[in-house]
Amino acid sequence: MRKSLVSAAVLVVLSTCFAAPAAGGTTSDRAFRTSLDQLMKAQNGPPGVTVQITTDGRSRYYSRGLGDVAAGTGPRLRDHARIASVAKAFNGGIALSLVAEGELKLSDTIGEILPGLLPKARRVTLAQMLHHTGGLPDYIKDKRFIKVLQTDPGQFLTPRKLVSFVRHKKLTARPGKKYEYSDTDNIVVGLMAERATGIPYNRLLKRQLYNPLRLNGTSLPRTLNMPNPYLRGYEITPGTPPENVTKFINPALAWASGGIVSTLPDLGRFMRGYVPGDLFGSRIRRAQRSWVLGSSSPPGPGHNSAGLALFRYRTRCGTVFGHTGSFPGYRIFAASSGDGRSSVAYIANAQIVPGRGSVEVNRLIRKSQTEAVCQALG
């Protein structure tokens, strides 16, 4: 099972209600709670789900199921979890704030900032990588990387080593011409931020994001260890009990593309600052919202479009902006309204990769995310 879990992970890069409104509630509240109940009843669904919805400074917390199957305990509001590709939005926050400060430009190319790193991609720009239109081949799909990962999922590889797996591969498309989700994009963006500033990435996270947005429960680990308390993440295999895979794959193997650990309150706070452009201003926010047809991975609620390190999710109740993530043990969705007044932070503690037996669970996850958006905007 472990080898199949690794293969699935690299190809897809994740019943009690607490502090809810009084019984009866609004129509959107009842619909949201019902959607969570339906997800928990689904065959091969996640053991638990935990959600924080914030509107105009008022937060509501909901949870269902188990956060720790062995202990039989439910999720908690401040549990830490691996946020997978939602880390790409954090990476965008660093890059775009550096653009605002004049330390990077959206037109900067890989060849200018990191000469020799990717010879065939030297003309790809920072903006194209943030947009997933640079044509960089995805290192997590490289056979050599998969083999190394299967040999020792817990090992540490440097960001430059991760990029080296695709160093000599051709671009998948002409830069700027085609949307194609790639984890390599964000590894290179992180390296560009380090080179432009001379500051290690973890310190950039603290300087550009953690301090200004007051993110006290967020970190980028180099090991399998998790800060306490933490939400256990599970692999769901039909016919067998959930398997705890929280400490199976080293998140450093995703680094700036997906290695961050955070909490529901921090995810909501980040999105409420990032989406309105508090980190970089209105001029860069306008450039960020140059939408192309493209879905986050996994798809978020409603109709998905891609901007610079940001996705637009148009639902029947309105539009929010954010990111999704998928990592062994976790499925994440975090988003905010355009003005930063409302946010949704959503974590299911199983990845639920596409495949047989998961179609209905995936549908119910997206349905509950849509109802969360309706609750936030309602």
Model confidence pLDDT, tens digit, residues 111-122: 999 999 999 999
Backbone phi, psi, residue 58, to 5°: -105, 125
- Is pLDDT of 19 > 60? no
**pLDDT of amino acid 353:** 78
Rounded Cα distance between 295 and 326, Å, is: 13
CA quadruple 240, 246, 247, 248: dihedral, nearest 10: 50
Dmax (CA) for the chain in angstroms is 62
- Is pLDDT of 175 > 70? yes
Number of domains in the chain: 1
3-class DSSP assignment, residue 355? coil
User: Of residues 11 and 245, which shows the higher confidence score?
Assistant: 245
Backbone phi, psi, residue 270, to 5°: -60, -50
pTM over 0.85: yes
**pLDDT of amino acid 28:** 83
The answer to whether 2 and 236 have CB atoms below 8 angstroms apart is: no
The answer to whether 245 and 235 have CB atoms below 8 angstroms apart is: yes
Q: In terms of residue numbers, what domain contains 342?
A: 2-377
- Is pLDDT of 377 > 50? yes
The answer to whether 280 and 97 have CB atoms below 8 angstroms apart is: yes
Average pLDDT on 350-362 reads 84
Q: How confident is the model over 318-340, as pLDDT tens digits?
A: 999 999 999 999 999 999 999 99
User: Which band of pLDDT confidence, cut at 50, 70 and 90, is reported for residue 24?
Assistant: very low
Q: How confident is the model over 149-161, as pLDDT tens digits?
A: 999 999 999 999 9
Q: What is the CATH number of the domain that holds 274?
A: 3.40.710.10
Q: How confident is the model over 225-283, as pLDDT tens digits?
A: 999 999 999 999 988 999 999 999 999 999 999 999 999 999 999 999 999 999 999 99
